[in-house]
């Protein structure tokens, strides 16, 4: 009997290993809400069926959710939406391929229903931008641009509610720019990086894009593959929504007393070289967000009752001395937003940005209202930047961190009416590189 047992054990082990080799990347957590959750992964073309088996942590009753979409394509990113969940409950799951269990497992906890019942919860989220993974045959010659990807191991150990990717989650190369296949390949290749995998399932992942995960460097509305790029982005992230009317990728998420608005700075973006002004007046045709997205943002800010309203953009917003692209270089639209914030006395606004390959906090004063802050967090794994030129001693900078890979942890704490936001900037090993904090009272229009 022993040889027979060994044979069947070996057969099961072989089948088990075969199943492992056909998951290219993931699983990754998407948004986890009160009663549903999204779980993403990518499988190879030979897979015939994919299912998600899940149950309450420690429970015996399991449910199996089959994937009903298309398979067998060259690229097969997919996600499950698991509904009918209980609030504030931990679930565990396993991926099944062709009806066979795999070692790909994970867990998630649904949100708690605290509104009208409990104090506002303390929580944190992670954020960062500019994630470059080397591929020598397509990289530019010289020193590799991608740096230490073990930063994602440190991030995976964090006990945060979710992650916000602020653009450049992958970097298209010259070989990808004008190839729809290349756009799919780049997202698939970079997402499969081994160093990412533990982090992807450690917490929900939400994202907006900037130029490099949209297309060529600094490109905007004129990109001829923008439709394909939008489809790729929406296939490799499973945000709560993606723009409106098939346009753009903007969306939002809420956690505790923070609303986070993830804006699209590329879909409608005018060329950076378009004139800022015409006949001495701001050029109304030079826009970054576009009319549709701006209208959505205004209405969303008016609807929001959150203590903290965090407007996330790929490009910097406030930095007056930056020689690089920023929202201020679109002065008509920028002033439209500034006037709106002042006219409606919108409290609690902060900007969260990426792109610059350094981290900093820019502060600008507003007569008759509270100051605005632009918190830039970059880079995760791409090359770093050194403060220099007109930015070396930027008088608007209240915190600066250059020449360091880093991510940030945004932590919200305190009793209602006295809430506080603390931003910790953290290095490759999770070591603290600096911090900054602000209270909700400092983000209110004077009475």
SS (H, E, C) 66-132: ECCCCCCCCCEEEEEEECCCCCCCEEEEEEEECCEEEEEEEEEECCCCCCCCCCCCCEEEEEECCCC
Kindly report the CA angle at 239 between 233 and 241, in degrees rounded to 5? Answer: 100
C-alpha span between 338 and 353 (Å, rounded): 17
The SS3 of residue 155 is helix
Residue owning tokens 């959750």: 37
pLDDT at position 257, please?
Answer: 98
Residue pair 102/44 in contact (Cβ under 8 Å)? The answer is no
> Two tokens at 100?
């066979």
Q: Which CATH architecture has domain 22-109?
A: Sandwich (2.60)
94 contact partners, CB below 8 Å, separation of at least 6: 52, 53, 54, 101, 102, 104, 105
**pLDDT (tens digit, 0 to 9) for every residue of the chain, 447 residues total?**
444 343 334 444 444 444 445 999 999 999 999 999 999 999 999 999 999 999 999 998 999 999 999 999 999 999 999 999 999 999 999 999 999 999 999 999 999 999 999 999 999 999 999 999 999 999 999 999 999 999 999 999 999 999 999 999 999 999 999 999 999 999 999 999 999 999 999 999 999 999 999 999 999 999 999 999 999 999 999 999 999 999 999 999 999 999 999 999 999 999 999 999 999 999 999 999 999 999 999 999 999 999 999 999 999 999 999 999 899 999 999 999 999 999 999 999 999 999 999 999 999 999 999 999 999 999 999 999 999 999 999 999 999 999 999 999 999 999 999 999 999 999 999 999 999 999 999 999 998
> Two tokens at 31?
């948004």
pLDDT at position 21, please?
Answer: 52
C-alpha span between 353 and 363 (Å, rounded): 13
Q: How far is CA 397 from CA 267, 329, 333, 361, 423, in A?
A: 29, 18, 23, 6, 15
Type and span of the H or E element at 7:
helix 2-20
What distance lies between CA 331 and its chain's CA centroid?
Answer: 26
Helices 226-236 + 180-191 axis angle, to 10? 20
Q: Of the CATH numbers 3.40.640.10, 3.40.50.10860, 3.60.21.70, 3.30.200.20, which one belongs to the domain with range 123-443?
A: 3.60.21.70
Domain ranges for the chain: 22-109, 123-443
C-alpha span between 350 and 438 (Å, rounded): 10
- Note if the bond before 27 is cis, omega within 30 degrees: yes
Residue pair 88/57 in contact (Cβ under 8 Å)? The answer is no
What distance lies between CA 69 and its chain's CA centroid?
Answer: 25
């Amino acid at each position: 009997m022993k040889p027979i047992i060994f044979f069947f054990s070996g057969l099961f082990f072989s089948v088990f290993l075969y199943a492992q080799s056909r998951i290219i990347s993931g699983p990754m957590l998407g948004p986890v809400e009160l009663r549903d959750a999204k779980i993403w992964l990518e499988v190879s073309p030979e897979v015939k069926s994919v299912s998600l088996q899940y149950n309450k942590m420690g429970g015996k009753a399991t449910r199996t959710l089959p994937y009903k979409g298309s398979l067998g394509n060259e690229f097969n990113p997919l996600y499950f939406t698991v509904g009918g969940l209980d609030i504030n409950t931990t679930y565990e799951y396993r991926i099944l391929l062709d009806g066979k269990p795999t070692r790909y497992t994970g867990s998630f906890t649904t949100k708690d229903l605290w509104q009208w019942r409990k104090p506002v919860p303390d929580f944190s989220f992670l954020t960062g931008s500019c994630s470059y993974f080397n591929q020598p045959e397509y990289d530019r010659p010289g020193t590799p641009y991608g740096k230490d990807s073990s930063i994602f191991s440190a991030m995976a150990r964090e006990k945060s509610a979710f992650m916000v990717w602020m653009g450049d989650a992958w970097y298209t190369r010259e070989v990808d720019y004008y190839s729809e296949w290349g756009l799919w390949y780049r997202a698939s290749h970079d997402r499969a990086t081994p160093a990412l995998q533990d982090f992807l399932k450690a917490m929900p992942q939400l994202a907006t894009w900037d130029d490099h995960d949209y297309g060529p460097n600094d490109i905007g509305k004129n990109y001829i593959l923008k439709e394909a790029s939008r489809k790729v982005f929406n296939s490799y992230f499973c945000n709560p929504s993606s723009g409106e009317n098939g346009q753009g990728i903007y969306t939002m998420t809420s956690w505790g007393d923070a609303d986070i608005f993830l804006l699209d700075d590329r879909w409608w973006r005018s060329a950076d070289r378009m004139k800022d002004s015409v006949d001495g007046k701001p050029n109304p045709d030079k826009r970054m967000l576009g009319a549709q997205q701006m209208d959505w943002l205004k209405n969303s800010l008016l609807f929001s009752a959150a203590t903290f309203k965090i407007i996330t953009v790929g490009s910097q917003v406030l930095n007056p001395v930056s020689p690089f692209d920023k929202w201020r270089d679109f002065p008509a639209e920028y002033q439209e937003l500034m006037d709106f914030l002042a006219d409606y006395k919108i409290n609690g606004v902060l900007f969260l940005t990426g792109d610059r390959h350094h981290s900093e906090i820019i502060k600008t004063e507003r007569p008759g209202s509270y100051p605005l802050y632009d918190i830039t967090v970059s880079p995760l794994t791409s090359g770093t930047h050194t403060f220099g030129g007109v930015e070396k001693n930027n008088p608007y900078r209240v915190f600066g961190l250059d020449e360091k890979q880093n991510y940030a942890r945004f932590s919200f704490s305190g009793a209602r009416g006295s809430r506080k936001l603390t931003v910790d900037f953290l290095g490759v090993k999770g070591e603290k590189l600096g911090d900054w904090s602000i209270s909700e009272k400092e983000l209110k229009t004077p009475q």
